[in-house]
Amino acid sequence: GVHPRSRAGGRREGNGGRARPRPNHAKSTWGQDGFEFLDEYLDTLALNYGAGLRLSDFASDPEGARETINEWVGEQTEDRIPELIPAGLINQFTRLVLANAIYFNASWAVPFLEESTREGTFDLLDGSEVAVSMMGGEGPATGYALVDGVEVVEIPYAGGDVSFVVLVPPAGQFSSFESSLDANLVDELVAELKSGKINLRMPRFGFESDLDLVAPLQALGMISAFDPLQADFTGINSDADLYVSSVVHSSFVSIDESGTEAAAATAAIIGDVSAGQSVTVDRPFVFLIRDIPTNTTLFLGRVVDPSN
């Protein structure tokens, strides 16, 4: 079922004594003091998600409650996401806030040498170019594939169980590639990786994003939860007057020579990678951070302008 899988996904497993980079995944639930939450709901939170209910006073001090939740998120993300909930989002009618924070900080198995970083150019979606700092070297990347024009490069992190994968579609085809990208295509591309020595040049980049997820979730079919007249959260409170008013998401990702800090039908004919295979990531690309033993994507993002 969903709940046991959620709980298992939060476990941290040993790895024979080796340092294994793992995301810090923290969950919390904040409820209005005095509001009646069903025991079954509280048991589900505790048993399957490790998230007890923290009492807040949204009714009389919504701003204070917002600051408290944001402080918790900041602590869980090493202050990379200091304000998940913007001002005004919590009000006196708020009854429940679910907060989920993930933080990942890991070193490459073989770092890029800073002295190998050079100025380079990166092609933007509109055809123009921007100046970027290009990291370079033969050691960091250990896997490569070319699948229908899409270059796939893998850079392992220290410990060997988590890796950074870059998907670089042909020039001028980023939008069509992105629209076709799904979990199956990611699996197919990653499955074609071959080991070898790759001479990789890739831009340093970092970004923050703040997203309102209501419209995307509605587009995916999650409609009634946001409608006060249709929402059914009687598993939380028997009065049936709860609905989801907003869903916000913030992220932070930074890639440099030492590693990553982050706070989502193809045919191929591929042989082994020849020594010295050269790859230059100088156009828009998709990246993912994946757990290799479970083949789970931990983070997924896009880079269309690493200079910004």
Task: Identify whether 155 is part of a domain.
Answer: yes
Decide which of 111 and 14 is more confident: 111
Render pLDDT for 96-154 as a digit per residue (tens, 0 to 9). Answer: 888 877 777 778 888 888 888 889 999 999 999 999 998 888 777 788 999 999 999 99
Task: Identify whether 116 is part of a domain.
Answer: yes
Judged against a pLDDT cut of 90, whether residue 90 lies above it is answered with no
Task: Identify whether 308 is part of a domain.
Answer: no
Q: Is the domain of 166 the same as that of 290?
A: yes
Q: Is the domain of 160 the same as that of 83?
A: no
> What confidence tier does 167 reach under pLDDT thresholds 50, 70, 90?
very high
Distances (CA, A) of 51 to 26, 42, 205, 223, 278: 8, 9, 34, 26, 47
Q: What is the pLDDT of residue 120?
A: 92
Q: Is the domain of 127 the same as that of 178?
A: yes
User: Is this prediction's pTM over 0.75?
Assistant: no
For the packed helices 2-9 and 39-49, what is the interaxial angle rounded to 10 degrees?
40
* DSSP labels, 93-112: T--EEEEEEEEEEEEBSSPP
Q: Tell me how far apart the 2 most distant CA atoms of the chain are, in Å.
A: 66
CATH code assigned at 58: 3.30.497.10
Judged against a pLDDT cut of 60, whether residue 280 lies above it is answered with yes
CATH code assigned at 156: 2.30.39.10
Strands 96-107 vs 194-195: parallel, antiparallel or unpaired:
unpaired
Q: Is the domain of 132 the same as that of 42?
A: no
Decide which of 3 and 113 is more confident: 113
Q: What range defines the domain where residue 28 resides?
A: 2-11+19-106+207-253
Number of folded domains in the chain?
2
Q: Is the domain of 241 the same as that of 92?
A: yes
Task: Identify whether 31 is part of a domain.
Answer: yes
Q: Is the domain of 65 the same as that of 176?
A: no
Closest residue by Cα to residue 134 from 24, 284, 288, 281 = 281
Q: Is the domain of 7 the same as that of 119?
A: no
Q: Is the domain of 142 the same as that of 188?
A: yes
Kindly state the average pLDDT of the residues 255-283. Answer: 53
- Out of 155-169, 215-229, 230-244, 272-286, least confident range: 272-286
**Are the C-beta atoms of 69 and 99 separated by less than 8 Å?**
yes
Task: Identify whether 229 is part of a domain.
Answer: yes
Q: Is the domain of 142 the same as that of 260?
A: yes
Q: Is the domain of 161 the same as that of 240?
A: no
Task: Identify whether 144 is part of a domain.
Answer: yes
146 beta partners: 151
Q: What is the pLDDT of residue 22?
A: 60
Q: Give first-to-last CA distance, the chain, whole Å.
A: 42
- Rounded CA separation 19/21 (Å): 6
Q: Which residues does 229 contact at the CB level (< 8 Å), separation at least 6?
A: none
> What confidence tier does 262 reach under pLDDT thresholds 50, 70, 90?
low
Residue 222 in tokens: 């999650």
Task: Identify whether 298 is part of a domain.
Answer: yes
Task: Identify whether 219 is part of a domain.
Answer: yes
Q: Is the domain of 178 the same as that of 270?
A: yes
Where does residue 160 rank: exposed (0-12), middle (13-18), buried (19+ CB within 10 A)?
Answer: middle
Judged against a pLDDT cut of 50, whether residue 192 lies above it is answered with yes
Q: Is the domain of 151 the same as that of 190?
A: yes
